Amino acid sequence: MTHFRFHSLTILLSLLFASGLAFSGLAQEAAHDEHHDHPVTGKKIPSPGPEDVDKFIKVDKEAKKVFIPVTATYNDANYGMNFNGHFKGSAVYTVPMGWEITIHFKNASPVPHSAVVVEKYMTRKLQVGEPYFEGASTKDPLKGLVKDEKFTFVTDDVGEYAIACGFPSHSAGGHWIGLNITKEGDEASVKFKKLQ
Ligand SMILES: [Cu+2]
């Protein structure tokens, strides 16, 4: 009987210890979410608004090609976790299916970032996974060590996608912008929400 009691106490203590560990894990995650660990969060310049769209897309309608410059940490919006000053889908590119997209990725901060095109719902995950379209990411997006790289892919499916940062937890923290591939249409465009 004594032995049994001792054993129950051990189990109880183990459970308490385990829940303590789980709690400290959550606390660490919360601290990470606030991004106190980012040393440089970008310049204090305004995010581009509707009047600036021409600087952030080049369209060749005849060739059905789009060129999109995408700078991570363009400014300090969202603790630097932005593309061209936008985050959480506040910029949305719209491109017809079958067109070719070239993304010119740049990282303006010493913090690792990357770009990978995934289905929009994937942005909520800790890791966004493989690019949806073949070739639609910077090299090794999980590590995000690329500073300047171009990649080209063909939009061979319709749907709501995101240009997301592949560095773990960044897209869940808002480091993504929208990319809609439409079935019809002969024009590509970008819309910027007005951010203060
Ligand atoms: Cu990032």
pLDDT per residue, tens digit, the chain (196 aa), is 445 444 444 444 344 344 433 434 443 444 444 444 445 789 999 999 999 999 999 999 999 999 999 999 999 999 999 999 999 999 999 999 999 999 999 999 999 999 999 999 999 999 999 999 999 999 999 999 989 999 999 999 999 999 999 999 999 999 999 999 999 999 999 999 998 6
Place of tokens 């789009």: 66
CATH number at residue 167: 2.60.40.420
Q: Assess whether 87 and 134 both reside in one domain.
A: yes
Domain presence at residue 108: yes
Distance in angstroms (rounded) separating the CA atoms of residues 22 and 124: 21
Q: Assess whether 17 and 61 both reside in one domain.
A: no
Distance in angstroms (rounded) separating the CA atoms of residues 190 and 116: 18
Domain presence at residue 48: no
44 alpha carbon – ligand 1 mean position (Å): 18
What confidence score (pLDDT) does residue 196 get? 66
Domain presence at residue 44: no
Q: Assess whether 73 and 128 both reside in one domain.
A: yes
96 alpha carbon – ligand 1 mean position (Å): 27
Q: Assess whether 18 and 99 both reside in one domain.
A: no
Q: Assess whether 14 and 93 both reside in one domain.
A: no
Q: How many domains does the chain have?
A: 2
Domain presence at residue 49: no
148 alpha carbon – ligand 1 mean position (Å): 14
24 alpha carbon – ligand 1 mean position (Å): 24
116 alpha carbon – ligand 1 mean position (Å): 11
Domain presence at residue 188: yes
Q: What is the CA radius of gyration of the chain?
A: 21
85 alpha carbon – ligand 1 mean position (Å): 12
112 alpha carbon – ligand 1 mean position (Å): 7
Inter-residue contact 131 to 117 (CB < 8 Å): yes
Could you tell me how far CA 134 lies from the centroid of its own chain? 18
Q: Assess whether 23 and 117 both reside in one domain.
A: no
Name residue 99's amino acid.
W
Q: Assess whether 159 and 101 both reside in one domain.
A: yes
Domain presence at residue 26: yes
Domain presence at residue 186: yes
Distance in angstroms (rounded) separating the CA atoms of residues 66 and 129: 24
* 3 phi/psi in degrees, rounded to 5: -60, -45
What confidence score (pLDDT) does residue 41 get? 86
* 68 phi/psi in degrees, rounded to 5: -125, 115
Q: Assess whether 102 and 169 both reside in one domain.
A: yes
174 alpha carbon – ligand 1 mean position (Å): 9
Name residue 94's amino acid.
T
Q: Assess whether 165 and 110 both reside in one domain.
A: yes
Q: Assess whether 85 and 149 both reside in one domain.
A: yes
57 alpha carbon – ligand 1 mean position (Å): 21
Domain region containing 19: 1-34
Domain presence at residue 158: yes
62 alpha carbon – ligand 1 mean position (Å): 34
